[in-house]
Structures are given as structure tokens and as C-alpha cells.
Amino acid sequence: MSENAGSIICCRLEYSSRYTGSSIFSFIFSDKYKTGSFYGEFSPATISFNERSYVSNLLTPSLSGSWSREKLALKFKLNLPLTLTFSEQNTMALDSSNKLVYDGSNNSTTIFSFRPDLRLALQYKIIPDRLTLNTGARIRTSAIWMETVKQEFYTMGNKTGTWTAHDNSFGGNQQSGTSFTSRFSIGATYNFTENVWVEASTGAANTFGGDAIDVFAQGGLFSFGSILVTLKF
């Protein structure tokens, strides 16, 4: 009877969030030094205030599994990352009462992106305990990209205008590095003895829109090829 390791399927949910901190500034009011704080950057040399805030939320459901039987073993992992980011950059100034008010342009950007990421691995024992073939692939689809940019204009606290733009892309965004990419690798492991073995691998990568792979260029067959010799004592 042949040995069957069966299959394993598991799910995982990850969440992470990050944001910016605050800055402290000082000023003179009624011949006394006072301090204040706001989210952003303060330049004492030019007495300029740039209010900045950034919040990024990442939610990544994932599905992975493995299967093996006799000489063949398979693995896969599918990540489904959803990212929602908010960023804001505002120009501020102190008014006659030393109160921070908006003065200049206020820019806020909201971005939602979804980009599935699939990884595959196959291992075949050509000669058990001697020669093994290893192959793998990673495919990242074009992202669903939804971006809203809003700009408001102020003069010492008084709003003078508003401008809004939308950029919704369902075929990837080259500028943000979210277009379709693929990477394939193949290699072999040869065991001379239990304590000495050699691993060799090569592969190719490509981005959506290219119709050829140059074996000597970046992403070609020899751009991330490697040979590893291992000695075990």
C-alpha cells in the first residue's frame, strides 16, 4: 500500500494598522514662551507648520494547503490582502492670536486596494534520497485600485476653494507597483551523502505588458539563479 500523507487546509486572518505621531512647537505669547502640539512637522527656521497624518489598515485573509503521496508533494498559499489608507497633508500658520489655522492647500487621499497573491510549490523525488526536483511559482494579479484625492484651499482659516479627483483602476497601477506580476522557478537537489548535498535553482519573472523574457536581463533566467553546496558536520 502506498503511503499517503493526505492534505492540510488552513485559514488565517491578519490585521495591522499604523499611524503618525505628533510634534511639539513653541511660541511667544504675552512675553512668555508657550508650547503646543499637532500632528505633523514643525520647522523652527522658517516657522512653518505642515500637518501630516497617515493611517494604513491591512486585512489579509489567507488560505493554504499541502498534499503529498509517495514521490510527489504539493503546497499552495493564497493571500487576499485588502488595504485601506488615509493620508492628509495640510499647511498651517499662526494667526494674530497665536492659534494654528489652515493657510494654503490641504490635501487628503483615500486609497483602497485588493490584490490576490498566489504561491505554488511542487517537489518530485526523481530518485528517493538522492535527486529531487523543485519547482515553484508566484502570481500576483492586477490590483483593484480606488483612489480619491481631495484638495481644499485656505487663507488664514477661511476656505477659498475645493477640488476633488477620483482614480479607479481595475487593471493595476504601474506607478504604485500593483500591476500583474509572475515569477517561476525550477531547481534540483542532489544528495551525494547524508552530509553533503547541492541545490541549484533558476527562474524567470515578468510583469504584465511584457511579451518576452531576456535570459540575461533583470528578471531573466540568470538574474536570480543560484547554486548552494551544503556540508553537514
Question: Radius of gyration of the chain from Cα atoms?
Answer: 27
Residue 224 falls inside a structural domain = no
pLDDT at 17: 57
Answer whether 2's CB lies under 8 Å from 70's CB.
Answer: yes
In this structure, is residue 211 part of a structural domain?
no
Which residues span the domain enclosing 130?
4-15+52-179
Count: domains in the chain: 1
* CA proximity to 105, closest of 90, 116, 119, 93: 90
Asked whether residue 171 is domain-assigned, the answer is: yes
Whole-number pLDDT of residue 140: 86
| Cα 101 from Cα 11, distance rounded (Å) | 48
Beta bridge partner(s), residue 58: 16, 83
Confidence (pLDDT) at 7: 52
Tally the C-alpha atoms within 13 A of residue 144's C-alpha that lie toward its C-beta: 8
Q: Which amino acid is at 40?
A: G
Q: What is the pLDDT of residues 121-133, one digit of tens each?
A: 999 999 888 899 9
pLDDT value at residue 50:
80
CA angle, corner 216, sides to 176 and 212, nearest 5? 60
Count of residues in the chain: 233
Distance separating alpha carbons of residues 42 and 23, to the nearest angstrom: 7
Flag residues of the chain having pLDDT under 50.
Answer: 1-4, 6, 209-212
Tens-place pLDDT, residues 11-28: 566 555 555 556 666 655
Q: Which three cell numbers stand for residue 85?
A: 489608507
Within a domain: residue 221?
A: no
Q: Is residue 99 part of a domain?
A: yes
Three-state secondary structure string covering the chain: CCCEEEEEEEEEEEEEEEECCCEEEEEEECCEEEEEEECEEEECCCCEEEEEEEEEEEEEEEEEEEEEECCEEEEEEEECCEEEEEEEEEEEEECCCCCEEEEEEEEEEEEEEECCEEEEEEEEEEECCCEEEEEEEEEECCCEEEEEEEEEEEECCEEEEEEEEEEEECCCCCCCCCCCEEEEEEEEEEECCCCEEEEEEEEEEEECCCCCCCCCCCCCCCCCCEEEEEECC
Is position 30 within any domain?
no
The answer as to whether 197 is a domain residue is no
Grid coordinates belonging to 213: 523574457
- The rounded mean pLDDT for the chain is 77
- Taking the model in full, what pTM does it have? 0.67
- What pLDDT is recorded for position 209? 47
Grid coordinates representing 180 are 500583474
